[in-house]
Amino acid sequence: MTEFTLAFQDKTPLYDQLYRYVVARIRSGELTEGERVPSKRALAEHLGVSLTTVEKAYGLLTAEGYLEALPRSGFRVASSLAAIPAPTPRRMAVERRREALDECFSTAAVDTSVFPFSTWAKLSREAVYENPELLQRGEGQGDWPLRDALADFLHQYRGVDCTPEQVVLAAGLEGIMWILLQLLPRAVFGLEDPGYGSLRRLLDNLGREWAPVAVDDRGVAVQALEASGADVAYVTPSHQFPLGITTPAGRRSELLRWAYARPGRYLIEDDYDAEFRYASRPIPAMQGMDVGGRVLYVGTFSRTIAPSIRVAYLILPPELLEVYHNRFDHASATVSRFEQEALCRFLTSGAYGRHLRRVGNLYRRRRDALCAALSGWGEIRGAEAGLHLLFTLPGREESDLVARAAQAGYRVRGLGEYCMGPDPLPGTLALGFAGLPEERAAKAVEELKRAFEQIG
Amino acid sequence: MTEFTLAFQDKTPLYDQLYRYVVARIRSGELTEGERVPSKRALAEHLGVSLTTVEKAYGLLTAEGYLEALPRSGFRVASSLAAIPAPTPRRMAVERRREALDECFSTAAVDTSVFPFSTWAKLSREAVYENPELLQRGEGQGDWPLRDALADFLHQYRGVDCTPEQVVLAAGLEGIMWILLQLLPRAVFGLEDPGYGSLRRLLDNLGREWAPVAVDDRGVAVQALEASGADVAYVTPSHQFPLGITTPAGRRSELLRWAYARPGRYLIEDDYDAEFRYASRPIPAMQGMDVGGRVLYVGTFSRTIAPSIRVAYLILPPELLEVYHNRFDHASATVSRFEQEALCRFLTSGAYGRHLRRVGNLYRRRRDALCAALSGWGEIRGAEAGLHLLFTLPGREESDLVARAAQAGYRVRGLGEYCMGPDPLPGTLALGFAGLPEERAAKAVEELKRAFEQIG
């Protein structure tokens, strides 16, 4: 094996060359079952590559079953090679993993089939063809016309009280969080429990401090918030994720009073899913109640238009605008200006409003179909708004339900996955319905039921 | 003035309502010159708004000359109101600030007039019309076809050694830094001094640790790097910003050895401007020399295509891929998928390569014209590559040169602006030429010269 020479000029990484070389030698029979291969260190020295390169190659070879580690040290060619399937190209591996389970119950699904794609395509084309000047750098905060249109839209639809000066655009919620974390660099974040896992992961990744804050039947409990030591609370008052609770006005006032009680306290209102409300009129955003400039309002088009539209927005209170300008003076916008222009046309032409009504009706029908299919089986909660509901089978283990659903071919998530503390409703699944067509609901629920009630 | 009532339902922020109210009363003569207005605290109490709201309004009114602060405390209507211009709409103010000085010497300029816009528009249109499925969520790392095309391109043009698996796309360098900071959460960053101010600001905004590392005539000095205590060095070996130095192969090997000496050490190679090299063949990226998997390679299309194209890329060493997948498992890509598709077609059709040659020739002519205009006046450095050069007038104060240039209508930057330690070349300006057409160079330099040599 030591006659192998690495092609340093080759495009393939060295570990991969080494991996392929060993695989080829095993398959051709030059290396036979049970034969001992050089130690990692010896091979690295011989080839003049780093130990890491050899470790990486041996790691892959062991993981894929070509090599096996010897009891004390060293490696040999595995003894049951007949069982090893031919290596699939790596490119395929990525694709296949995604298709494994049916994602129709995903809480993040968006049905793009009702999106007025030809209108969007036409506006996109016009946005590019008519505006070559959009190649040049725009305002870091986002271009004025879209910020203006968005301020109008949010006022009309969500009761948000702002001027375009307060609007900041960024590439998805990731881009918004990037700005928030720089605006509030010393803040301890209070995160709803249960709540978004992605936020927790993000703060952990960055080594930032956060505290869980329990959610009761009206949303974030102010006492828990006070006790948590957080300065900035990230809240979802329109439709708590994942419990589906709508925080009533009284609790909203309490939250605002909490923020006003000390300088440096802020509420980040994530208005996620607020466009979809089935049982009553939409409840205006908390931002519109804020007279003290302590609410930062956050939203995105990824759910209402399409997941690949990477435009999210942040409405800053006037008091934070100066801080924003100081810190982001030289920053560039993270959203394509052509996409900003297309979206602006989509909003101002009224096409977005029409789309929201249409897709709202579609999701209402899907919610109704899922509720009908589930009724009489377990308990349904949080189905008045948003794109998912909670479904409880008292006395059941969530992990068992999730495993059984997977065996039946469905990916579902247990409420516990979103909890930092104890699960407030054991035996509960968070079921999305935006990706579950009406005509499929009965069958999908039937299959879940069969899997859940099977013995053993 | 206390009869004023705020319209809490109004879309305008409260401070702005108050500001407008006071301006209107002054203009109508209801408040007269020299008249005392209520104290901030009294007014806040009376109106039932926060002190901050009144402070913000009074701040604006004072800044704009409507009110003046009284010697001890309190405010009165200013005594020379005739001199105050009518308030210009705020929307205009933003626009006007940008046009104040000629930015032809900007080191960040990109000439988009030679960009094959009609090709781009056509590819953008096709990317949208032919791919409605791109509305759905793509791979968080970026879509495979563009990553594949980019890996090929970087191999061919920059000697970068990677597979598409190693390519991560994000919305501009901001998006890339967002990922880097989460990948390396405990790292102390070593930043070139002089170097990018934006990087320093970003790390400061996030409260992250960094250390300045001096640059000598071959780039980052390894001894300085070792002494700085940094784990991760952010370097620009192709064309150091702003000194314009190209780090030779020997120094690159030393840097790699520094990284190999301890686990957790990495080099971030920012290959900014490397596409443009005038005196010799482009020097391959340091990434291609790295056998130990310690170089993270970073680049962007914002300079080679257009500032508004928000696509940047990060090439991870194989060793960091697993960390990346663990931390960013659920993250969405920050780049529009339609723009990814358009860019992919731009690369694979060969249009990007042709554009680079064309724009490279243009910038070469602009460099030549600027050098010719400056020759015989001061010292030119770092003009062999990239889109800016250093111009030194020994014995002159940079701040004086910058101020004189501004008086002549030009925005220029002194080298000191990029320095954390002492300025290594006092009397030096960083002059960009990508935004300075050949035919304008002589006149612009002439005007600078006149301003710089004027007495007084």
Angle in degrees, CA A315, A319, A324, rounded to 5: 65
Name which of A338, A343, A345 to mutate to probe chain B: the one with the most chain B Cβ atoms within 10 A of its Cβ.
Answer: A338
Q: Region B16-31: what's the mean pLDDT?
A: 76
Is residue B98 scored above 50 in pLDDT? no
DSSP classification of residue B20: H
Residues of A in contact with B182 (CB under 8 A): 202, 205-206
Would you state the pLDDT for residue B81? 58
Q: How far is B54 from chain A (nearest CA, A)?
A: 11
Note whether A257 contacts B: Cβ–Cβ < 8 A: no
pTM: 0.76
Is residue B2 scored above 60 in pLDDT? no
Q: Region B49-67: what's the mean pLDDT?
A: 77
Cβ <8 Å between A201 and B330: yes
Would you state the pLDDT for residue B89? 35
Residue type for position A362: L
For chain A, give the number of residues.
456
Measured CA to CA, the distance from residue A379 to residue A391 in angstroms comes to 6
Measured CA to CA, the distance from residue A391 to residue A393 in angstroms comes to 7
Q: How far is A382 from chain B (nearest CA, A)?
A: 24
Is residue B347 scored above 50 in pLDDT? yes
Is residue B34 scored above 90 in pLDDT? no
Would you state the pLDDT for residue A84? 40
Q: Give first-to-last CA distance, chain A, whole Å.
A: 50
Question: What Å distances lie between residue B356 and A290, A367, B22, B277, CA to CA?
Answer: 51, 52, 56, 11
Q: What is the pLDDT of residues B305-314, one digit of tens each?
A: 988 888 999 9
CA-based R_g, chain A, Å? 27
Residue type for position A266: Y
- What's the per-residue H, E or C state across A158-188? HCCCCCHHHEEEECHHHHHHHHHHHHCCCCC
Dihedral over alpha carbons A379, A381, A384, A389 (to 10 degrees): -100
Dihedral over alpha carbons A399, A404, A407, A409 (to 10 degrees): -90
Token pair 């070469």 is at which residue?
A: B364
Is residue B11 scored above 80 in pLDDT? no
Exposure string over A222-253, b if 16+ CB within 10 A, otherwise e: bebbeebebbbbbbbbbbbbbbbbbbeeebbe
Cross-strand bridge partners of residue B314: B168, B298
What 3-state class would DSSP assign to B380?
strand
What 3-state class would DSSP assign to B170?
strand
Closest residue in chain B to residue A323, using alpha carbons only: B205
Q: Region B341-355: what's the mean pLDDT?
A: 94
At B210, list the tokens. 């960094």
Exposure string over A394-407, b if 16+ CB within 10 A, otherwise e: eebebeebbebbee
Residues of B in contact with A172 (CB under 8 A): 332, 334
Measured CA to CA, the distance from residue A9 to residue A452 in angstroms comes to 56
Angle in degrees, CA B149, B155, B159, rounded to 5: 160
Question: What Å distances lie between residue B204 and A185, A282, B170, B190, B192, CA to CA?
Answer: 9, 41, 22, 13, 15
Would you state the pLDDT for residue B14? 77
Q: What is the pLDDT of residues B415-448, one digit of tens each?
A: 999 999 899 999 999 999 999 999 999 999 999 9
Q: Which of B137, B291, B330 sits opposite A50 (nearest CB)?
A: B291
Measured CA to CA, the distance from residue A361 to residue A354 in angstroms comes to 11
Dihedral sign computed on CA atoms, order B166, B170, B173, B177: negative
Measured CA to CA, the distance from residue A44 to residue A58 in angstroms comes to 11
Note whether B128 contacts A: Cβ–Cβ < 8 A: yes
Would you state the pLDDT for residue A456? 66
Measured CA to CA, the distance from residue A335 to residue B339 in angstroms comes to 11
Closest residue in chain B to residue A435, using alpha carbons only: B136
Residue of B131 and A226 predicted with greater confidence: A226
Cross-strand bridge partners of residue B233: B190, B267
Beta strands A219-220 and B388-392, pairing class: unpaired
Note whether A103 contacts B: Cβ–Cβ < 8 A: no
Q: Which of B117, B207, B339 sits opposite A339 (nearest CB)?
A: B339
Q: Tell me if A248 sits within 8 A of A220, measured CB to CB.
A: no
Dihedral sign computed on CA atoms, order A57, A63, A67, A73: positive
Which has the minimum average pLDDT: B11-20, B145-154, B282-291, B434-443? B11-20
Note whether A228 contacts B: Cβ–Cβ < 8 A: no
Tell me the percentage of chain B whose pLDDT exceeds 90.
57
Among B181, B229, B416, smallest CA distance to B212 is for B229
At A403, list the tokens. 């495993």
Would you state the pLDDT for residue A6? 63
Q: Region B321-344: what's the mean pLDDT?
A: 90
Measured CA to CA, the distance from residue A441 to residue B367 in angstroms comes to 66
ipTM of the prediction: 0.73
Would you state the pLDDT for residue B331? 83
Q: Which backbone phi and psi does A288 adopt, to 5 degrees?
A: -70, -15
User: pLDDT per position in chain A (456 positions), as tens?
Assistant: 556 666 655 556 777 778 777 877 776 677 888 888 888 888 888 777 888 888 878 877 776 667 888 877 788 887 755 434 333 333 333 333 444 799 999 998 888 888 999 999 999 999 988 888 898 888 999 999 999 999 999 998 899 999 999 999 999 888 999 899 999 988 999 999 999 888 888 898 888 899 999 999 999 999 999 999 999 999 999 999 999 998 988 899 999 999 999 999 999 999 988 888 887 666 789 999 999 999 999 999 988 998 888 899 999 999 899 999 988 877 888 999 999 999 999 999 999 999 999 999 999 999 999 999 999 999 999 998 899 999 999 999 999 999 999 999 999 999 999 999 899 999 999 999 999 999 999 999 999 999 999 886
Note whether B456 contacts A: Cβ–Cβ < 8 A: no
Measured CA to CA, the distance from residue A52 to residue B291 in angstroms comes to 9
